[in-house]
Amino acid sequence: MKINVNNIIISIIKNQDREIEKEIIKRGISKDNIERISWLKRSIDSRKKSDIKFVYNVEVILKNPVDVKKLKNISVPKEEKYKKRVSVDNTKNILVVGAGPAGLFASLRLVEYGYKPIIIERGEDIDSRDKTVDTFIKKGILNKDSNIQFGEGGAGTYSDGKLNTRIRSEYIDKVFKEFVECGAQEEIMWDYKPHIGTDVLKGVIKNLRNKIISMGGKFYFNNRLEEIFVEDGKVVGALIKNNKNQMEELKLDGIILAVGHSARDTYRMLHKKGVFMENKPFAVGARIEHPRKDIDEMQYGKFAGHKNLGAATYNFTYNNYEEERGVFSFCMCPGGVIVNASSQEEGSLVNGMSYSGRDGKFSNSALVVGIKENEFGEHLFSGMEFQEKLEQKTYEIVKEYGAIYQSVPDFLEGKVTEKEIESSYQMKKTPYDLNKFFPEVITRNMKMALRYWQKNYPLFVTERANLIAPETRTSAPVRITRDERGESLNIKGLYPIGEGAGYAGGIVSAGVDGLKIVDNIFTKVIEG
């Protein structure tokens, strides 16, 4: 018999497995009846810094059945009912554009139902991409098609490999199980803030690609979508620039568009072809970086550095109700580094990244302000052009691919930071007053949020805290509009998915979107 035991609370200083077993016994389960205990979920309760606790939900396999109605916080898990699906027509020629999480999981779902998709990625395979990124960091030589944003695995490969998501979906378990099967840590199945880390994620992505190939998918790297061919309102083909810089035409029955949030040239091409698109909100700001020990102490007090805890995370929000505008931390990278995330010539920006150990000297997070639709212009690409201008302005200030910086106290006082700061960021840094860099609506709201957070978290605003800017690519500033099933509103056979389409906001939600849309379009439920 299988049961779930929930809300087991244990101090972090105690032996966790032993205390979990004791708590299960205390709730009425005989020790002799326990065959196996598995963690389902573990979270941290750090509200009381002097007594930090773990909170567990566990699954217990029993040798003999028990009556759970008489037991507290114990339940029998519901049996999952799976819908039996088959392909609609797996002889169709389907092109998947982009090998980020949305494209990879869409491709996986297609091959599971017998389709033989062609997957193209403008960037390189992960091993080649890694070398190209390293060359860029060391020498400042940018490959516009293969960088932190583009290449196998998508932008999320060079992040924290963060898997927490706010969405609810039947497909989430599928994403997690595939990651574990492809080499991710088993703890992502129960950690309340699961992450893989960019070092491990690279191998996971490669294994996922090989699985798709073994089932019939074909990958072509350094292949960029140049144009889609549309006849009578339906996709009939595509023009591809292949890895030999030659143009190649493909006849197709459908295109799954998983291009990522930085594919600005693709957005412009689709607009010219008449594909329906719309503005959407996004966010802009800077990376805020602290010594990791400050964040650990801020969150864990005297338990900072405890072997059971690791590097601390945080998730801060501030609402300016008068403006109906939010300020928030985003993509927090405990024990991580700040990296240059440029993908256009003479445009520079930053992002955050963590390795699986999260054991770096610094912790960083995006500190961003919400931008409304059409806030900086009325046309479709006004938000995208706003991003571009900030990135170009950074390049002009630094005079190369780099970043601008300012200590948090100096930012609040409106003065340039004169000292050279210590930072995880490896490329050139130039001191600059961010109050003169961003529009006033952004700096004013950032200041309001920082002063608000400082009241409860004094270690968050100190002379050791620095802003590295700009962070411009939090999400796509446009949405490629689609119907409920996932098809473009006006172009049949075009299926925009993931972050680039404006329908996801992270690795898991992008992967889920890829799975869901393939099920909606390319499979059907059968009875029995």
User: pLDDT digits over 437-487, tens only?
Assistant: 999 999 999 999 999 999 999 999 999 999 999 999 999 999 999 999 999
In 304-360, DSSP assigns E strands to 317-320, 325-333, 337-340, 350-353
Q: From CA 289, how far away is CA 464, in angstroms rounded?
A: 8
Q: From CA 490, how far away is CA 278, in angstroms rounded?
A: 13
What pLDDT is stored for residue 167 in this prediction?
75
The CA–CA distances, whole Å, from 345 to 144, 349, 392 equal 7, 11, 9
Q: For residue 456, what is the enclosing H or E element? A: helix 440-456
Range 26-42 average pLDDT: 95
SS3 47: coil
What pLDDT is stored for residue 128 in this prediction?
98
Q: From CA 179, how far away is CA 253, in angstroms rounded?
A: 30
Contact between 408 and 450 under an 8 Å Cβ cutoff? The reply is: yes
Q: From CA 441, how far away is CA 458, in angstroms rounded?
A: 24
Quickly count: other Cβ atoms within 10 Å of residue 409's Cβ.
16
CA gyration radius, the chain: 24
SS3 235: strand
What size, in residues, is the chain?
528
Q: From CA 452, how far away is CA 57, in angstroms rounded?
A: 34
CATH 3.30.70.2700 fits 2-75, yes or no: yes
36-49 per-residue burial string, b: 16 or more CB within 10 A, e: under 16: eeebeebebebeee
User: pLDDT digits over 372-395, tens only?
Assistant: 998 999 899 999 999 999 999 999
Token pair listed for 510 = 């992008």
Range 19-28 average pLDDT: 95
Q: From CA 380, how far away is CA 403, in angstroms rounded?
A: 28
Q: For residue 194, what is the enclosing H or E element? A: none
- What residue type is assigned to position 249 of the chain? E
- Residue 218 vs residue 192, higher pLDDT: 218
Mean residue pLDDT of the chain comes to 95
Does 1 have pLDDT greater than 70? Answer: yes
What pLDDT is stored for residue 528 in this prediction?
55
The CA–CA distances, whole Å, from 72 to 3, 6, 16, 43, 96 equal 12, 9, 20, 20, 49
Q: From CA 436, how far away is CA 469, in angstroms rounded?
A: 12
Does 497 have pLDDT greater than 70? Answer: yes
What pLDDT is stored for residue 81 in this prediction?
73
Q: Name which of 215, 221, 258, 259 is nearest 108 in CA terms.
A: 215
Give the whole-number percent of the chain exceeding pLDDT 90: 93
Q: From CA 226, how far away is CA 241, in angstroms rounded?
A: 6
- What residue type is assigned to position 319 of the chain? N
Q: What is the largest CA-CA distance in the chain?
A: 71
In what side-by-side order are the strands of the sheet with 494-496? 218-221, 118-121, 94-97, 254-257, 494-496
| Bridge-based pairing state of the strands 218-221 and 118-121 | parallel
Contact between 398 and 428 under an 8 Å Cβ cutoff? The reply is: yes
Q: What is the dihedral of CA 84, 217, 150, 248, to 10 degrees?
A: -130
Contact between 443 and 383 under an 8 Å Cβ cutoff? The reply is: no
- What residue type is assigned to position 461 of the chain? V
Q: Within 13 Å and on the Cβ side, how many CA atoms surround 224?
A: 20
Q: Name which of 365, 360, 366 is nearest 310 in CA terms.
A: 360
Contact between 192 and 41 under an 8 Å Cβ cutoff? The reply is: yes
Q: Which long-range contacts (CB under 8 A, 24 or more apart) does 241-250 make?
A: 250/93, 250/95, 250/118
**At 320, is the pLDDT very low, low, confident or very high (cuts 50, 70, 90)?**
very high
List the alpha helices (DSSP H) in 72-151.
101-112, 126-139
Q: pTM for this structure?
A: 0.95
For the 85-278+479-525 domain, the top CATH level (class) is: alpha beta
Q: From CA 174, how far away is CA 190, in angstroms rounded?
A: 14
What pLDDT is stored for residue 80 in this prediction?
72
Does 79 have pLDDT greater than 80? Answer: no
DSSP 244: T
Domains of the chain by residue range: 2-75, 85-278+479-525, 281-471
What pLDDT is stored for residue 160 in this prediction?
73
Range 34-58 average pLDDT: 94
Range 135-139 average pLDDT: 97
- What residue type is assigned to position 156 of the chain? G
Angle at 240 between CA 273 and CA 242, to 5 degrees: 155
User: pLDDT digits over 151-185, tens only?
Assistant: 999 999 998 777 877 777 889 999 999 999 999 99
Q: From CA 502, how far away is CA 261, in angstroms rounded?
A: 8
Q: Given CA atoms 294, 295, 298, 299 in this order, what sign does their dihedral have?
A: negative
The CA–CA distances, whole Å, from 18 to 11, 197, 391, 459 equal 12, 29, 53, 35
Phi first, then psi, for residue 370 (nearest 5°) are -65, 135
User: pLDDT digits over 83-107, tens only?
Assistant: 889 999 999 999 999 999 999 999 9
Does 518 have pLDDT greater than 70? Answer: yes
